[in-house]
């Protein structure tokens, strides 16, 4: 069993809400979400009870990868607004006690960034070594497609490395000048009042200087093969920048590695504050699979002395309701599990509405990684425009007439109402946001665990099967939270409905 936290930081006890800006809310009328749209809907986040929001990239970009190809790290792309609009967002969020995190892309820039444009100018340009150039490429492959991760630049007759699109050349973090420049990017935003960052594919910044070939029979994601321990050294430098600012600034890293121990090793007192563990995004709808995933995260983070960062959905994976066959009851059970586990939960905008992935016609596909369905726009109202000033850049997700924020917030039995109750309980209950976790034995098809902390013991029971099941628990318990709201406040009789979950508090 893990150890409870005595004095958790805000990023340990809080819940963080991811916004994909293009799809959140459009105020300008061009059909693309913008910063003004986020400001307009901050009250929804306050109603929900989140502690921080994180926006996917809003920096200046040609949008080859929709913002993950940055051409200017210290300005806002005009499609989203201006620096002044961003300052207004910071002020409006802080007024509501909501912190703001930015998505920082440290591994690569756009090929239109001035650094790369200078680097490709000649072999002796001072910026040449800011990127990775070779006369002969190794055998590395891209993440998005089965193609070489190297592109020949005819101007100088050398190849440059890009783990993602050719428009996203990798930076050379072994060059101290690159690290200094990227630290200055962090300082620019920290000086403007940003509370932290999500670091995109940050495990890739440390690369073996020799750039050796991949083995002939590698295992796992091709991008993960190129992880190198140098990353940890660069993370310590980044942490020193964050720690030089007041206010408990933080960074969560996308560490897309399949080994839980490797993921956890990137976080701790001198590195990332949090490292995303995506284990639950791969788990099928099965109690045993969830239990094994949770146990793997618990073992890895306990051994590393780090704190879990947990997620069910994001802009890169299908929404969890879609993965669970479209069943809203399953989505509600998963929400109760996520928000009662040990660690920091991250919510993806729209999951509190029970959204599914959109059906995208072939002629409207735009994302190079095929991730359009989970990036569909958020419906705010039941009106035909669903609260958007312009026609959205992607089609609506299913059922926008009822799966919208206004309708969901009016319905006290909705999934949005459940999320709100869960966030309030987690915020107010020191055991739920800081207690240890103990997995329990349970009948087949049931996931069971206790949270133990300064406020006492809380028991979580989740039935993954459609049929009711009896769960014997010693002592007397009261239902404090449930996916079926009518059960809340009653004495627990040992019966757990089909595809349902409860949080129990000792009755005496």
User: Which positions are catalytic?
Assistant: 200, 254
**Dihedral of the CA atoms 393, 395, 399, 404 (nearest 10)?**
0
User: Would you tell me the crossing angle of helices 230-243 and 176-191 to the nearest 10 degrees?
Assistant: 30
Contact by Cβ (8 Å): 504, 478: yes
Rounded-to-integer distance, Cα 502 and Cα 468, Å: 13
Q: Which tokens in the block code for residue 94?
A: 């802080």
Contact by Cβ (8 Å): 459, 503: yes
State how far Cα 136 lies from the chain centre.
36
Owner of token pair 């995208």: 360
CA distances from 148 to 140, 163, 165, 384 (A): 6, 9, 10, 45
Contact by Cβ (8 Å): 505, 480: yes
Rounded-to-integer distance, Cα 493 and Cα 473, Å: 9
Tell me the residue length of the chain: 508
The DSSP-derived string for 354-409 is: T--PPP--GGG---TTS--GGGPPPP-SSSTTTT-SS--SSPPPS-TTTSSHHHHH
Q: Which tokens in the block code for residue 355?
A: 């959204």
Q: Which tokens in the block code for residue 148?
A: 């070489």
């Amino acid at each position: 069993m893990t150890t409870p936290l005595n004095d958790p930081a805000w990023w340990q006890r809080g819940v963080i809400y991811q916004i994909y800006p293009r799809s959140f809310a459009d105020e300008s009328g061009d059909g693309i979400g913008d910063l003004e749209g986020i400001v307009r809907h901050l009250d929804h986040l306050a109603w929900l009870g989140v502690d921080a929001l994180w926006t996917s990239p809003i920096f200046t970009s040609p949008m080859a990868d929709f913002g993950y190809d940055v051409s200017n790290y210290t300005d806002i792309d005009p499609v989203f607004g201006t620096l002044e609009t961003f300052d207004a967002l910071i002020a409006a969020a802080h007024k509501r006690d909501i912190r703001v995190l930015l998505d920082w892309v440290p591994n690569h820039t756009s090929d239109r960034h001035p650094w790369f444009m200078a680097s490709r100018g000649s072999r002796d340009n001072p910026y040449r070594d800011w990127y990775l150039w070779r006369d002969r490429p190794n055998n590395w492959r891209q993440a998005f497609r089965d193609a070489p991760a190297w592109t020949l630049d005819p101007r100088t007759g050398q190849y440059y490395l890009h783990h993602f699109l050719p428009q996203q050349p990798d930076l050379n973090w072994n060059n101290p000048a690159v690290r200094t420049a990227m630290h200055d990017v962090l300082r620019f935003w920290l000086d403007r009042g940003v509370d932290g960052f999500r670091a995109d594919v940050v495990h890739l910044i440390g690369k073996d200087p020799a750039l050796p070939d991949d083995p002939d029979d590698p295992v796992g994601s091709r991008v993960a093969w190129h992880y190198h321990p140098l990353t940890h050294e660069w993370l310590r430098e980044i942490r020193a920048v964050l720690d030089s600012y007041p206010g408990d600034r933080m960074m969560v890293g996308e560490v897309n590695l399949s080994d839980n121990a490797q993921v956890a090793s990137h976080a701790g007192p001198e590195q990332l504050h949090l490292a995303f563990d995506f284990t639950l995004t791969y788990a099928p709808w099965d109690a045993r699979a969830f239990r094994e995933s949770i146990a793997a995260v618990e073992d890895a983070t306990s051994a590393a002395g780090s704190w879990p960062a947990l997620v069910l959905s994001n802009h890169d994976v299908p929404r969890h309701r879609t993965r669970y066959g479209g069943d809203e009851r399953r989505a509600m059970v998963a929400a109760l599990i996520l928000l009662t586990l040990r660690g920091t939960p991250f919510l993806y905008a729209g999951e509190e509405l029970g959204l599914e992935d959109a059906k995208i016609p072939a002629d409207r596909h735009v994302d190079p990684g095929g991730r359009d369905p989970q990036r569909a726009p958020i419906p705010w109202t039941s009106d035909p425009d669903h609260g958007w000033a312009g026609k959205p850049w992607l089609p609506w997700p299913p059922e926008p007439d009822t799966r919208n924020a206004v309708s969901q917030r009016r319905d006290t039995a909705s999934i949005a109402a459940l999320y709100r109750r869960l966030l309030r309980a987690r915020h107010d209950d020191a055991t739920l946001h800081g207690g240890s976790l103990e997995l329990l034995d349970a009948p087949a098809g049931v996931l069971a665990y206790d949270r133990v902390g300064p406020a006492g013991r809380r028991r979580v029971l989740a039935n993954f099967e459609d049929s009711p099941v009896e769960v014997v628990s010693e002592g007397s318990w009261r239902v404090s939270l449930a996916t079926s709201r009518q059960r809340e406040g009653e004495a627990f009789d040992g019966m757990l409905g089909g595809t349902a979950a409860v949080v129990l508090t000792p009755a005496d």
